[in-house]
Protein backbone atom coordinates (compact mmCIF):
# COMPACT_ATOMS: atom_id res chain seq x y z
CA UNK A 1 0.00 0.00 0.00
CA UNK A 2 1.40 3.46 -0.92
CA UNK A 3 2.54 5.88 1.80
CA UNK A 4 -0.25 8.30 0.90
CA UNK A 5 -3.52 6.83 -0.30
CA UNK A 6 -5.16 8.26 -3.38
CA UNK A 7 -8.56 9.54 -2.23
CA UNK A 8 -11.36 10.99 -4.39
CA UNK A 9 -14.13 13.00 -2.70
CA UNK A 10 -17.36 13.35 -4.70
CA UNK A 11 -18.83 16.51 -3.08
CA UNK A 12 -17.61 19.62 -1.29
CA UNK A 13 -17.05 18.99 2.42
CA UNK A 14 -16.54 21.46 5.31
CA UNK A 15 -13.28 23.37 4.91
CA UNK A 16 -11.80 21.93 8.11
CA UNK A 17 -12.39 18.40 6.82
CA UNK A 18 -10.92 19.10 3.40
CA UNK A 19 -7.84 20.73 4.97
CA UNK A 20 -7.19 17.71 7.16
CA UNK A 21 -7.64 15.33 4.21
CA UNK A 22 -5.05 17.27 2.21
CA UNK A 23 -2.60 16.89 5.09
CA UNK A 24 -3.06 13.11 5.30
CA UNK A 25 -3.84 11.83 1.82
CA UNK A 26 -3.24 12.40 -1.87
CA UNK A 27 -6.77 13.74 -2.16
CA UNK A 28 -8.78 14.97 -5.13
CA UNK A 29 -11.42 17.46 -3.96
CA UNK A 30 -14.36 18.92 -5.83
CA UNK A 31 -14.13 22.43 -7.21
CA UNK A 32 -17.91 22.87 -7.15
CA UNK A 33 -20.73 21.22 -5.23
CA UNK A 34 -22.56 19.45 -8.03
CA UNK A 35 -22.89 15.65 -7.97
CA UNK A 36 -20.36 13.72 -10.05
CA UNK A 37 -21.61 12.20 -13.28
CA UNK A 38 -21.70 8.44 -13.55
CA UNK A 39 -18.75 8.61 -15.96
CA UNK A 40 -16.71 10.68 -13.50
CA UNK A 41 -17.55 8.27 -10.68
CA UNK A 42 -16.44 5.32 -12.79
CA UNK A 43 -13.18 7.06 -13.62
CA UNK A 44 -12.55 7.89 -9.97
CA UNK A 45 -13.17 4.28 -8.96
CA UNK A 46 -10.65 3.08 -11.52
CA UNK A 47 -7.94 5.52 -10.42
CA UNK A 48 -8.32 5.85 -6.62
CA UNK A 49 -7.51 3.72 -3.59
CA UNK A 50 -10.43 5.22 -1.68
CA UNK A 51 -13.72 6.78 -2.82
CA UNK A 52 -15.58 9.14 -0.47
CA UNK A 53 -19.16 9.33 -1.81
CA UNK A 54 -22.34 10.82 -0.35
CA UNK A 55 -26.01 9.89 -0.54
CA UNK A 56 -26.26 11.68 -3.91
CA UNK A 57 -23.97 9.08 -5.52
CA UNK A 58 -25.48 5.78 -6.65
CA UNK A 59 -22.73 3.18 -6.36
CA UNK A 60 -24.46 0.17 -7.91
CA UNK A 61 -23.17 -3.20 -9.10
CA UNK A 62 -22.52 -1.91 -12.60
CA UNK A 63 -20.38 0.94 -11.34
CA UNK A 64 -18.51 -1.25 -8.89
CA UNK A 65 -17.84 -3.63 -11.76
CA UNK A 66 -15.92 -0.82 -13.46
CA UNK A 67 -13.68 -0.25 -10.45
CA UNK A 68 -10.00 -0.80 -10.90
CA UNK A 69 -7.76 -3.04 -8.87
CA UNK A 70 -6.63 -0.06 -6.77
CA UNK A 71 -9.99 0.66 -5.18
CA UNK A 72 -10.09 -0.98 -1.75
CA UNK A 73 -12.36 1.23 0.35
CA UNK A 74 -15.60 3.18 -0.15
CA UNK A 75 -15.63 5.52 2.86
CA UNK A 76 -19.15 6.91 2.77
CA UNK A 77 -19.78 10.43 4.08
CA UNK A 78 -23.04 9.65 5.88
CA UNK A 79 -24.63 6.86 7.89
CA UNK A 80 -27.08 5.51 5.31
CA UNK A 81 -25.60 3.18 2.69
CA UNK A 82 -28.68 2.19 0.69
CA UNK A 83 -27.13 4.00 -2.30
CA UNK A 84 -24.17 1.57 -2.26
CA UNK A 85 -24.31 -2.08 -3.32
CA UNK A 86 -22.41 -3.32 -0.28
CA UNK A 87 -22.69 -7.00 -1.23
CA UNK A 88 -21.14 -6.48 -4.66
CA UNK A 89 -18.40 -4.30 -3.20
CA UNK A 90 -17.55 -6.98 -0.65
CA UNK A 91 -17.48 -9.69 -3.32
CA UNK A 92 -14.85 -7.66 -5.17
CA UNK A 93 -12.75 -7.13 -2.06
CA UNK A 94 -13.81 -3.51 -1.56
CA UNK A 95 -14.66 -2.51 2.01
CA UNK A 96 -17.45 -0.06 2.78
CA UNK A 97 -17.54 2.23 5.83
CA UNK A 98 -20.00 4.85 7.00
CA UNK A 99 -20.42 7.45 9.76
CA UNK A 100 -23.04 6.13 12.22
CA UNK A 101 -24.23 7.98 15.29
CA UNK A 102 -23.11 11.43 14.20
CA UNK A 103 -26.50 12.69 12.99
CA UNK A 104 -28.57 11.22 15.82
CA UNK A 105 -29.26 14.35 17.86
CA UNK A 106 -29.50 16.68 14.86
CA UNK A 107 -32.07 14.47 13.14
CA UNK A 108 -34.05 13.94 16.34
CA UNK A 109 -34.15 17.71 16.87
CA UNK A 110 -35.51 18.18 13.35
CA UNK A 111 -38.11 15.48 13.93
CA UNK A 112 -39.46 17.43 16.88
CA UNK A 113 -39.28 20.68 14.88
CA UNK A 114 -41.41 19.17 12.12
CA UNK A 115 -43.82 17.73 14.66
CA UNK A 116 -44.30 21.16 16.23
CA UNK A 117 -44.31 22.87 12.85
CA UNK A 118 -47.29 20.81 11.69
CA UNK A 119 -49.28 20.68 14.92
CA UNK A 120 -48.78 24.38 15.75
CA UNK A 121 -49.13 25.56 12.12
CA UNK A 122 -45.84 27.43 12.21
CA UNK A 123 -45.34 27.74 8.41
CA UNK A 124 -48.87 29.11 8.03
CA UNK A 125 -48.15 31.70 10.70
CA UNK A 126 -44.85 32.59 9.07
CA UNK A 127 -46.54 32.99 5.69
CA UNK A 128 -49.19 35.24 7.23
CA UNK A 129 -46.54 37.51 8.72
CA UNK A 130 -44.44 37.64 5.56
CA UNK A 131 -47.45 38.52 3.42
CA UNK A 132 -48.31 41.45 5.69
CA UNK A 133 -51.90 40.20 6.09
CA UNK A 134 -51.84 39.74 9.86
CA UNK A 135 -54.48 41.94 11.46
CA UNK A 136 -53.77 41.10 15.09
CA UNK A 137 -54.44 38.52 17.75
CA UNK A 138 -57.84 36.82 18.00
CA UNK A 139 -59.09 34.05 20.31
CA UNK A 140 -59.81 31.65 17.46
CA UNK A 141 -57.03 32.62 15.05
CA UNK A 142 -54.33 30.14 13.95
CA UNK A 143 -55.41 27.45 16.39
CA UNK A 144 -53.17 24.40 16.41
CA UNK A 145 -52.91 21.55 18.88
CA UNK A 146 -50.64 20.81 21.82
CA UNK A 147 -48.34 17.82 21.64
CA UNK A 148 -48.40 17.07 25.39
CA UNK A 149 -50.50 14.00 26.06
CA UNK A 150 -50.48 12.83 22.47
CA UNK A 151 -49.52 9.28 21.56
CA UNK A 152 -46.32 9.21 19.54
CA UNK A 153 -45.63 6.07 17.53
CA UNK A 154 -42.00 5.64 16.49
CA UNK A 155 -41.36 3.33 13.53
CA UNK A 156 -37.73 2.26 13.96
CA UNK A 157 -36.23 2.43 17.45
CA UNK A 158 -32.53 2.68 16.68
CA UNK A 159 -30.28 5.54 17.75
CA UNK A 160 -32.43 8.26 16.19
CA UNK A 161 -35.74 6.70 17.24
CA UNK A 162 -34.56 6.55 20.85
CA UNK A 163 -33.33 10.15 20.68
CA UNK A 164 -36.77 11.20 19.42
CA UNK A 165 -38.36 9.26 22.30
CA UNK A 166 -36.24 11.13 24.86
CA UNK A 167 -37.25 14.47 23.42
CA UNK A 168 -40.91 13.45 23.22
CA UNK A 169 -40.81 12.53 26.91
CA UNK A 170 -39.75 16.08 27.74
CA UNK A 171 -42.75 17.38 25.78
CA UNK A 172 -45.10 15.17 27.79
CA UNK A 173 -45.92 12.77 24.96
CA UNK A 174 -46.73 9.09 25.40
CA UNK A 175 -44.07 7.04 23.61
CA UNK A 176 -44.92 3.92 21.64
CA UNK A 177 -42.78 2.07 19.13
CA UNK A 178 -42.52 -0.73 16.60
CA UNK A 179 -39.13 -2.16 15.79
CA UNK A 180 -37.64 -5.21 14.12
CA UNK A 181 -36.39 -6.25 17.55
CA UNK A 182 -37.84 -5.30 20.91
CA UNK A 183 -35.60 -3.13 23.09
CA UNK A 184 -34.11 -4.39 26.33
CA UNK A 185 -36.50 -3.87 29.27
CA UNK A 186 -34.22 -1.33 30.96
CA UNK A 187 -34.18 0.84 27.80
CA UNK A 188 -37.96 0.60 27.48
CA UNK A 189 -38.30 1.61 31.12
CA UNK A 190 -35.95 4.58 30.76
CA UNK A 191 -37.82 5.80 27.68
CA UNK A 192 -41.22 4.94 29.18
CA UNK A 193 -41.90 3.33 25.82
CA UNK A 194 -44.60 0.79 24.95
CA UNK A 195 -43.69 -1.86 22.39
CA UNK A 196 -46.16 -2.93 19.69
CA UNK A 197 -45.46 -6.19 17.91
CA UNK A 198 -48.11 -5.33 15.32
CA UNK A 199 -47.32 -2.24 13.27
CA UNK A 200 -50.91 -2.09 12.03
CA UNK A 201 -52.30 -1.98 15.56
CA UNK A 202 -49.85 0.72 16.61
CA UNK A 203 -50.48 2.90 13.56
CA UNK A 204 -54.26 2.79 14.12
CA UNK A 205 -53.94 4.17 17.66
CA UNK A 206 -51.33 6.92 17.32
CA UNK A 207 -51.79 10.69 17.20
CA UNK A 208 -48.34 11.25 15.69
CA UNK A 209 -46.28 8.75 13.70
CA UNK A 210 -42.53 9.32 13.31
CA UNK A 211 -40.66 7.38 10.62
CA UNK A 212 -37.12 6.59 11.82
CA UNK A 213 -36.22 3.35 10.06
CA UNK A 214 -33.73 2.87 7.21
CA UNK A 215 -34.66 2.17 3.61
CA UNK A 216 -34.23 -1.52 2.83
CA UNK A 217 -36.19 -3.90 0.58
CA UNK A 218 -38.21 -4.83 3.66
CA UNK A 219 -39.13 -1.21 4.49
CA UNK A 220 -39.92 0.01 0.97
CA UNK A 221 -43.49 1.39 1.11
CA UNK A 222 -43.85 -0.01 4.61
CA UNK A 223 -46.34 2.84 5.01
CA UNK A 224 -48.36 1.93 1.93
CA UNK A 225 -51.88 3.06 1.08
CA UNK A 226 -53.50 0.31 3.15
CA UNK A 227 -51.45 1.11 6.24
CA UNK A 228 -51.83 4.88 5.83
CA UNK A 229 -55.60 4.38 5.87
CA UNK A 230 -55.25 2.91 9.37
CA UNK A 231 -54.16 6.32 10.70
CA UNK A 232 -56.77 8.39 12.51
CA UNK A 233 -58.01 11.40 10.50
CA UNK A 234 -56.56 13.59 13.27
CA UNK A 235 -53.11 11.97 13.05
CA UNK A 236 -49.87 13.59 11.88
CA UNK A 237 -47.02 11.76 10.16
CA UNK A 238 -43.38 12.92 10.24
CA UNK A 239 -40.53 11.49 8.16
CA UNK A 240 -36.87 12.39 8.67
CA UNK A 241 -35.54 8.97 7.64
CA UNK A 242 -35.96 7.82 4.03
CA UNK A 243 -38.66 8.88 1.61
CA UNK A 244 -39.04 5.41 0.12
CA UNK A 245 -40.60 4.11 3.35
CA UNK A 246 -43.84 5.99 2.55
CA UNK A 247 -45.98 5.68 -0.58
CA UNK A 248 -45.78 9.40 -1.36
CA UNK A 249 -48.63 9.46 -3.87
CA UNK A 250 -50.98 7.70 -1.46
CA UNK A 251 -49.94 10.05 1.34
CA UNK A 252 -50.58 13.08 -0.88
CA UNK A 253 -54.06 11.88 -1.83
CA UNK A 254 -55.02 11.30 1.79
CA UNK A 255 -53.65 14.63 3.00
CA UNK A 256 -55.53 16.42 0.22
CA UNK A 257 -58.74 14.58 1.13
CA UNK A 258 -58.37 15.38 4.84
CA UNK A 259 -58.00 11.71 5.73
CA UNK A 260 -54.74 12.52 7.54
CA UNK A 261 -54.45 15.79 9.48
CA UNK A 262 -50.93 16.75 8.46
CA UNK A 263 -47.40 15.73 7.55
CA UNK A 264 -43.88 16.99 8.16
CA UNK A 265 -41.42 15.69 5.56
CA UNK A 266 -37.67 16.13 5.21
CA UNK A 267 -37.18 13.26 2.72
CA UNK A 268 -39.05 12.18 -0.39
CA UNK A 269 -39.62 8.97 -2.30
CA UNK A 270 -38.04 10.25 -5.51
CA UNK A 271 -35.37 12.56 -4.13
CA UNK A 272 -35.77 16.10 -5.44
CA UNK A 273 -38.74 15.07 -7.60
CA UNK A 274 -41.37 15.91 -4.99
CA UNK A 275 -45.06 15.39 -5.72
CA UNK A 276 -46.10 18.94 -6.76
CA UNK A 277 -49.43 18.67 -4.94
CA UNK A 278 -47.59 18.36 -1.63
CA UNK A 279 -46.23 21.88 -2.12
CA UNK A 280 -49.74 23.34 -2.25
CA UNK A 281 -51.19 21.78 0.90
CA UNK A 282 -51.40 24.02 4.00
CA UNK A 283 -51.28 21.02 6.36
CA UNK A 284 -47.85 19.91 5.10
CA UNK A 285 -44.40 21.15 6.17
CA UNK A 286 -41.67 20.39 3.62
CA UNK A 287 -37.93 20.69 4.24
CA UNK A 288 -35.03 20.07 1.79
CA UNK A 289 -33.43 17.03 3.47
CA UNK A 290 -31.78 19.16 6.15
CA UNK A 291 -32.35 16.95 9.18
CA UNK A 292 -28.63 16.42 9.75
CA UNK A 293 -27.52 19.80 8.40
CA UNK A 294 -25.51 21.31 11.24
CA UNK A 295 -21.95 22.56 11.03
CA UNK A 296 -20.99 20.40 14.00
CA UNK A 297 -22.58 17.29 12.52
CA UNK A 298 -20.95 17.67 9.11
CA UNK A 299 -17.50 18.16 10.65
CA UNK A 300 -17.97 15.10 12.89
CA UNK A 301 -19.00 13.08 9.84
CA UNK A 302 -15.83 14.18 8.07
CA UNK A 303 -13.72 13.26 11.08
CA UNK A 304 -15.23 9.77 11.07
CA UNK A 305 -14.47 9.39 7.37
CA UNK A 306 -10.86 10.38 8.01
CA UNK A 307 -10.54 7.92 10.91
CA UNK A 308 -11.96 5.12 8.76
CA UNK A 309 -9.50 5.85 5.94
CA UNK A 310 -6.53 6.34 8.28
CA UNK A 311 -7.26 3.11 10.16
CA UNK A 312 -7.53 1.24 6.87
CA UNK A 313 -4.24 2.77 5.68
CA UNK A 314 -2.60 1.50 8.87
CA UNK A 315 -3.63 -2.04 7.97
CA UNK A 316 -6.62 -2.38 10.28
CA UNK A 317 -10.35 -2.78 9.80
CA UNK A 318 -12.12 0.60 9.62
CA UNK A 319 -14.03 1.11 12.90
CA UNK A 320 -17.24 1.84 11.01
CA UNK A 321 -17.01 -0.91 8.40
CA UNK A 322 -20.42 -1.89 7.05
CA UNK A 323 -21.06 -5.64 7.09
CA UNK A 324 -23.79 -7.00 4.80
CA UNK A 325 -26.67 -8.47 6.77
CA UNK A 326 -25.89 -6.28 9.81
CA UNK A 327 -27.37 -3.06 8.41
Extents of the domains making up the chain: 6-102+294-313, 104-286
* Dist CA 115 CA 239 (whole Å): 10
DSSP reduced 3-state for 322 = coil
139 burial level (CB within 10 Å; 0-12, 13-18, 19+): exposed
Q: How far, rounded to the nearest angstrom, does the alpha carbon of residue 157 sit from its chain's CA centroid?
A: 14
pTM of the model: 0.89
Banded model confidence at residue 80, pLDDT cuts 50, 70, 90: confident
pLDDT at 2 (0 to 100): 57
Q: What percent of the chain has pLDDT over 70?
A: 98
Q: Which pLDDT score, from 0 to 100, does residue 1 have?
A: 52
Q: For 164, list phi and psi in degrees, rounded to 5.
A: -65, -40
More reliable by pLDDT, 53 or 323: 53
How far is residue 199 CA from its own chain's centroid?
21
Options 3.40.50.720, 1.10.1740.10, 3.40.30.10, 3.30.830.10; which CATH number does 104-286 get?
3.40.50.720
CA triplet 220, 224, 230: central angle to 5 degrees? 140
Domains 6-102+294-313 and 104-286 share a fold: yes
User: Minimal CA–CA distance to 169: which of 185, 134, 193, 145?
Assistant: 193
Query: pLDDT tens digit string along 120-157?
Result: 999 999 999 999 999 999 999 999 999 999 999 999 99
Helix-strand-coil split of the chain, %, nearest 5: 40, 15, 45
Q: pLDDT by residue (tens digit) across 231-272?
A: 999 999 999 999 999 999 999 999 999 999 999 999 999 999
User: Tens of pLDDT along 52-75?
Assistant: 999 999 999 999 998 989 999 999
Q: Report pLDDT digits (tens) over 205-239.
A: 999 999 999 888 999 999 999 999 999 999 999 99
CA angle 196, 201, 202 (to 5 degrees): 55
Order of strands, edge to edge, in the sheet holding 73-75? 26-28, 6-9, 50-52, 73-75, 95-97
The most distant pair of C-alpha atoms in the chain lies apart, rounded to whole Å, by 71
Q: Are 213 and 219 in contact (CB under 8 A)?
A: yes
Judged against a pLDDT cut of 70, whether residue 173 lies above it is answered with yes
In CATH terms, the fold of domain 6-102+294-313 is Rossmann fold (3.40.50)
DSSP, collapsed to helix, strand or coil, labels residue 218 as coil
Amino acid sequence: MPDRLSVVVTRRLPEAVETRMKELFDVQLRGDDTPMSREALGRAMREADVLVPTITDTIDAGLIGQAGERLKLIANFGSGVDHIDVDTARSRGVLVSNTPGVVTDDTADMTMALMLGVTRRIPEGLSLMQSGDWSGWAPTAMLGGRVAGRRLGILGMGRIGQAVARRAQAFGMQVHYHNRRRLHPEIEEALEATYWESLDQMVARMDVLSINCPHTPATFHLMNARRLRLLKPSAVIVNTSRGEVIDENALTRMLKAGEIAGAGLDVYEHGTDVNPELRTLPNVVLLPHMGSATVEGRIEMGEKVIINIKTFADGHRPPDQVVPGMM
